[in-house]
């Protein structure tokens, strides 16, 4: 294996999930504050966990798979990038699945036109709706 293989794996994950933003309207990159909050929480919690586990000797990192760049705390740069890339891929996947489920709901209702989400609809007026 060559140095940088882990970086290549992370880049591949990002590249493979990138179309989900455009094809399935995952809306992850269009909501940067939400995306940064999610990634920030993962980065802080699991980054601290990794530093602690690394210094306790629970695991080590094989230098042949990494670039050789270490961040403060001794972790390889790729390990921190993992905590950015994988949550981003998960958010893209979740957004795409949510879009597909919305399409299926509309198909079951027989509506070809895009409908608004339930939370966007206004409540029916008095005397309207299925129970009127």
In a domain, 67, yes or no: yes
In a domain, 131, yes or no: no
Whether 123 has a pLDDT exceeding 60, the answer reads no
In a domain, 117, yes or no: no
In a domain, 62, yes or no: yes
pLDDT of 63: 82
Angle, CA of 87, 3 and 15, to the nearest 5°: 35
In a domain, 119, yes or no: no
| Domains contained in the chain, number | 1
Q: What is the pLDDT of residues 80-117, one digit of tens each?
A: 999 999 999 999 999 999 999 999 999 999 865 555 55
């070809």: which residue's tokens? 112
Q: What is the pLDDT of residues 20-72, one digit of tens each?
A: 999 998 999 999 999 999 999 999 999 999 999 999 999 888 888 888 888 88
Whether 132 has a pLDDT exceeding 50, the answer reads no
**Domain extent at residue 75:** 5-96
Angle, CA of 92, 103 and 105, to the nearest 5°: 120
In a domain, 28, yes or no: yes
Whether 125 has a pLDDT exceeding 60, the answer reads no
In a domain, 85, yes or no: yes
Eight-class DSSP state of 76:
B
pLDDT of 3: 79
């Amino acid at each position: 294996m060559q140095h940088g293989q882990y970086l290549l794996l992370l880049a591949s994950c990002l590249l493979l999930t990138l179309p989900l933003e455009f094809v399935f309207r995952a809306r992850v990159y269009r909501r940067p504050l939400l995306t940064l909050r999610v990634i920030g929480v993962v980065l802080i919690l699991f980054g601290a966990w990794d530093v602690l586990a690394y210094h306790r000797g629970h695991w080590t990192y094989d230098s042949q798979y990494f670039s050789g760049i270490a961040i403060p705390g001794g972790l390889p740069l790729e390990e921190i990038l993992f905590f950015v890339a994988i949550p981003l891929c998960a958010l893209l996947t979740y957004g795409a699945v949510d879009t597909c489920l919305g399409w299926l709901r509309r198909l079951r209702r027989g509506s070809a036109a895009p409908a608004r989400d339930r939370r966007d609809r206004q409540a029916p007026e008095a005397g309207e709706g299925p129970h009127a």
